[in-house]
Structures are given as C-alpha cells and as structure tokens.
Amino acid sequence: MDHQPAWLAQGAAHVWRPYCQMKTAPPPLAVARTEGARLILADGRELVDGIASWWTACHGYNHPHIRAAVQAQLETAPHVMFGGLAHEPAYRLATRLAKALPGDLDHVFFAESGSVSVEIAMKMAIQYWINRGVHGRARFVAFRGGYHGDTLATMTVCDPEEGMHSLFAGVMPAQHIAALPTDEASEAALDRLLAEKGREIAAIIVEPRVQGAGGMLFHDDQVLRRLRRLADAHGVLLIFDEIFVGFGRTGDIFACEGAGVVPDIVTLSKSLTGGTLPLSAAIATRAVFEAFWSDDPGAALMHGPTYMGNPLACAAANASLDLFETGTWRADVPRIGEGLRAGLEPCRGAPGVVDVRVLGAIGVVEFQAAVPVQAWCQRFAEAGAWIRPMGKVVYLTPAFVTSDAEVELLTRAVRSVVCG
Ligand SMILES: *Cc1c(COP(=O)(O)O)cnc(C)c1O
C-alpha cells in the first residue's frame, strides 16, 4: 500500500471496478507481473494465487508453451473477422474440442466471454424449436444456487435470491428456478414442473458437478443422469454450462465426459485458453446443429461476435490442449486435492464454519453468513496468498502447477484467518 504506483493513483479516478462499492473499498493490489502460480506486486511482494484468476490460469501464468504459441500467432495474424474468413487456429481448435468432448458434441460456435456463450446456447435452444416448427418454447429451467453470467439473459437463469442480480428482478422474463434433483422428492418435483410447463420450455440449464459462483456447491453425477432422463422424457434440451468445471477442475477433463452424460449443448470458457486470452464456445450435438442445416436462410443462427474465434486466443487454447494431452494434470489435480483436504479440514468446527469440502482441485470452507470480503482479502495477502472469498465461502482453486509447499501456504493463510 505504501508504494502505490502513479498509474494506479491517476487511473483510480477513471476505472470502474467489478463487484465493488468503490467508495468504501480499499484500493486494488497493483500487479507488476505474473509467473507460475504467483502474482508479483508492484511493491515487490509475491502472492501465491489461490484462485487462478477466477479459475482461468489452470497451467499457471506465463506458461512458456502457451506464450510461444501466442507469440508465433502474433507474428502471423493477430485477428481477422470470422464472417466469410477462416483461419487454422480456430478450425484446428474446433476439431480438437469435438474430439475431446463425449458423444456427438461436434459443432463449435466461438465467442469471447462465458456469458455470451451462455446467451448463444440459450438462443440455439430457442431457435432449435422454432426451426423444427414447434412454437412457444422460449423459457428455461435453471437451478437454485446456479450462476451463468452477468448479462441480462444469463441473469435470468442465475439463482434469483443469491443477491448479486436481485435488483434486476422483473426486468427480464422470469424463468423456472427449481431445486436440483438430488433425491427422489426433488426429482419428482422437477418431473411435475416439466409435465406442467414442458411445452413452454426450450431447455434445462445446469452447471454440472459444481455450482461455482453461486457458492461452490457440489452434487453427484446421479443428478446429471436424472436431468438427462427428465429432459428426454419431457422432450426438452439439456445445456451443461462447463465454464467453471471444464478442463480438469473436478478431476475429469469435462464433467460430462466423467459423468457419462451427454448434454445437447455445452458451454466452455474460463480455462479454455489456460487463462491467457478471452475465448468461449457453445458446442452443440449433431441433432441440434441439424435443426439449423437447411435451404432456408432464415433458419441460420444469426449471431457473430466481432472478435469470435480470435486467432491469438485460439492459438492459446490449442497450446493449452497440448498441455492437457501431456496428462500431468491427471496427477496434479488429486495431489492438490489432497493438500487442500489436509490443509482445510482443521477449519471444521471453527467459529461460523458450517462445512469444509473438496472436489478435484477445489477446496471450500463455507460459513453460516457472508464473510467480510475486503478485510479478509487483505489478511490473506498479509499471509502471502491471493484469495478472494465469495459470499459465504472461502475457496481455493489453484493452478494445477501449484507446488505442495504453495498449497500449504494457501491453506495456512485460510487457517490463520478462519481459525484465528
Ligand atoms: C464465470 C462463469 C460464467 C460467465 O463467464 P464470463 O466470462 O464472466 O462472462 C458463466 N457460467 C459459469 C458457470 C461461470 O463460472
């Protein structure tokens, strides 16, 4: 804080910060550079990043393989429009994603952010029915605890009570927000909802295995099998939003692949480029794609973000996939999970703590009430860690390259604040 760079003081009057009451918040930490699992601050301090920059930097920062791929692409063609033009990085990436995803999730539509890919998945689902001559199916079933983005349409499929978007209640048409079918009673309730409202529903949308920003809530694969069964029984589409869980975070490359449940559309972003550049994708099965394959120009998907399939971002994503193909993440995720379990378990029983849980490389300490985000961020930083709580949870989602000693530093920082 003592060595605030001039650019921070000058720019602070002009930069509008995210999720932040700027009047009362302390200034943000000035980052000078990044390396591996570490943020190097302008004042010289080094913090181990416990959350991989909002779950993006899965291979750590500045990975030499990704950096080289982006540098080479920068020399060749940093960007061209995707309407009417094609380039190898995007076409190669689409081919590889189709191969890596289960079933016939083979048709890749690129965008630049997670929220936009969810919007596109929602548009695909609505138009799928229109193109097939079925009218009136424009609503979605989504789940309590869910999070799918901050744009207007994606806000409607987020948990309505979670707080972040409650100011906007009534601005957009309401969706059907249900409980996840975690047991027979909730499965029967969802079955009844679909029997009653099914004909106005385009799709069910869910974050498989982990509801991330809504509170790091875990559910088992049985829930996903129930959703597939109910979607089929009532003839609605099923969308998996794997923007958080995709690319190894739960121990499988994709949750759908690990669970053996193939959705009709899947969305990917966050770790897609290894945290290097913004990129997202909505990927549809052949059956969904075929509803758009027609002699009628009006049946086409009329969407095309200006920077879709950006070559630099696709080059980074291809390089990130190379790293996944080496397979080291398969050992790193359980290794980090063990470190998180050992390091966070002592928080159980600490004042206000209601649960400690770990899945893959995700460690969570949940509290009875919301925790003071800004104050705790500062205390974690004093302990050498970058950790930013969300509502009632303090969570760790480190990069897969984080060493055992760094994982221990992270959990020690959590214990020092939580256990006093
Ligand atoms: C982060 C996230 C989004 C939104 O992605 P942005 O890139 O922030 O728009 C959507 N869905 C899930 C599951 C996410 O974790």
> For residue 113, which atom of ligand 1 is closest to its CA?
7
What is the rounded average pLDDT for all residues in the chain?
96
252 included as an active-site residue = no
Distance 243 CA to ligand 1 centre (A): 6
* Residue 19 known to be catalytic: yes
* pLDDT tens for each residue of 38-87: 999 999 999 999 999 999 999 999 999 999 999 999 999 999 999 999 99
285: which strand partners? 105
Which pLDDT tens digit goes with each residue over 282-319? 999 999 999 999 999 999 999 999 999 999 999 999 99
Q: Which residue's CA lies nearest to atom 15 of ligand 1? A: 244
The DSSP-derived string for 203-233 is EEEE-SSEETTTT-EE--HHHHHHHHHHHHH
8's enclosing H/E stretch is helix 6-11
Which residue's CA is the nearest one to ligand 1's atom 6? 114
Taken in order of first residue, the domains within the chain and their CATH numbers are 6-62+328-418 (3.90.1150.10), 77-326 (3.40.640.10)
Q: State how far the Cα of 225 lies from the Cα of 167, in Å rounded to an integer.
A: 34
Per-residue model confidence as pLDDT tens digits over 200-245: 999 999 999 999 999 999 999 999 999 999 999 999 999 999 999 9
Pair 362, 249: CB distance under 8 Å? yes
pLDDT of 327: 92
Residue in 49, 147, 252, 395 annotated catalytic: 147
User: In this predicted structure, what is the pLDDT of residue 270?
Assistant: 98
- Element (H or E) spanning 284, and its range? strand 280-285
Note the pLDDT tens digit of each residue in 340-398: 999 999 999 999 999 999 999 999 999 999 999 999 999 999 999 999 999 999 999 99
Is the beta carbon of 401 within 6 A of some atom in ligand 1?
A: no
Nearest CA to ligand 1 atom 7: 114
Out of 58, 118, 159, give the residue to mutate to test ligand 1, the one with the largest number of ligand atoms within 8 Å of its CB. 118
Among the options 61, 264, 270, 332, which is catalytic?
270
Residue 161 has what pLDDT?
A: 83
Provide the residue type at 207 as one letter: E
- State CA 347 to chain mean position distance: 26
How much is the pLDDT for 2? 55
163 pLDDT band (50/70/90 cuts)?
A: low
> How many angstroms separate the CA atoms of 305 and 411, rounded?
40
Confidence grade of residue 162 (pLDDT, cut at 50, 70, 90)? confident
277 contacts 70 by C-beta, under 8 angstroms? yes
* 22 CB-near residues (< 8 Å, 6+ apart): 16
156, 269, 279, 393: which to mutate for ligand 1, most atoms within 8 A of CB?
A: 269
Confidence of residue 416 (pLDDT cuts 50, 70, 90): very high
- Could you tell me the two tokens for 130? 């229109």
With beta carbons less than 8 A apart as the criterion, state whether 371 and 13 touch. no
Cβ–ligand 1 distance for 406 under 6 Å, the answer no
pTM of the model as a whole = 0.98
